[in-house]
Amino acid sequence: MGAPAVTIDDVVAARARIAGDVVRTPLLPASWAPGDLWLKAENLQPIGAFKLRGALNAIGRLHPDDRARGVVTHSSGNHGQAIAWAARAVGVPAVVVMPDGAMAVKVEAIRRLGAEIVMAPGERREIEAEAVRAGRGMTLIPPFDHADVIAGQGTLALEALDDLDDIDTVLVPIGGGGLISGVGVAVTSLSPRTRVVGVEPELAADARDSLASGRRVEWDARSTYSTIADGTRTPVVGEITFPLIQATVDEIVTVSEDEILAAVAVLARRAHLVAEPSGALSVAAHLAAPGRYGRAVAVLSGGNIDPSVLARALALPS
């Protein structure tokens, strides 16, 4: 086995690189929740999600000549917003390829940030992004399977470890694996007693199956697209992220659609925090088994929720 794609040194360097632009989000005690739960509130980033960390680090690492030609990505929303925000901050063009049917709130947010949007069928996002890269000479920064993106995402774990002692478990949502890979590298390097537990929807549990089988297991996109947690619809974890998941993640658990919506509702009502379904996954896991994780940090990964979904969650009995 070769050297890992991302090391703790990469995460520490990323923290210094992005410090002037990213928000050092608070670690909030969830005194309303059973057990000992703390929330890493990444919904408070300027774009409403953790993705800004990886985008800033990846663009910051580009050679100035490459950066000047601009960047392209494919994204269902939050990574696209992050790339658009980071590109605007340094004055370079950005193109975001989005899937048909992407949430309107996320499409509009990217448009407001000045990026060019290209819509494509979900299964063709990567193909279209590669065509833009080849045709315009831009640099492709994928949403999760990229070492600089992973290192940037891991910086939130450095903050959490600084802010709280004796963490038993960090609960992390999983889509393509970029966030949990970066968190896993940081946590296992600096606090090896702390468990890293991934959380996926039952309807998109490809990472759980991959970790259990020792190989990347791809789910049918028609299944993964049925979950309300749109940030986790990636049908298979990345080639770079999977070995890091294997090396640093202790377990992956799943939650139901009802549990996800209930977590969105309780976060709004009790924590006064707006979380999108993908962002609420880790809280859903804790609420489903509050005595299981000890002193737990739940990464609240994003808050860019469709208003109709928030209304649906808040209509649930309290």
- Catalytically annotated residues: 51, 301
Q: What are phi and psi of 180, to 5 degrees?
A: -70, -30
Among 181, 231, 180, smallest CA distance to 201 is for: 231
Q: How does DSSP assign 14-78, residue by residue?
A: HHHHHTTTS----EEE-TTSSSEEEEEEGGGSTTSBTHHHHHHHHHHTS-HHHHHT-EEEE-SSH
Between the alpha carbon of residue 196 and those of residues 36, 43, 68, 149, 231, the distances in Å are 16, 20, 38, 19, 20
User: In the chain, what's the furthest Cα-to-Cα distance?
Assistant: 55
Residue 46: exposed, middle, or buried by beta-carbon count in 10 A (0-12, 13-18, 19+)? Answer: middle
Amino acid, single-letter form, for residue 156: L
Residue 45 tokens, joined: 């980033």
Q: Give per-residue burial for 224-234: e unless 16+ CB within 10 Å, then b.
A: bbebbbbbbbb
In eight-state DSSP terms, residue 295 is: E
Contact 182, 155 (CB under 8 A): yes
Would you call 12 helix, strand, or coil by DSSP?
A: helix
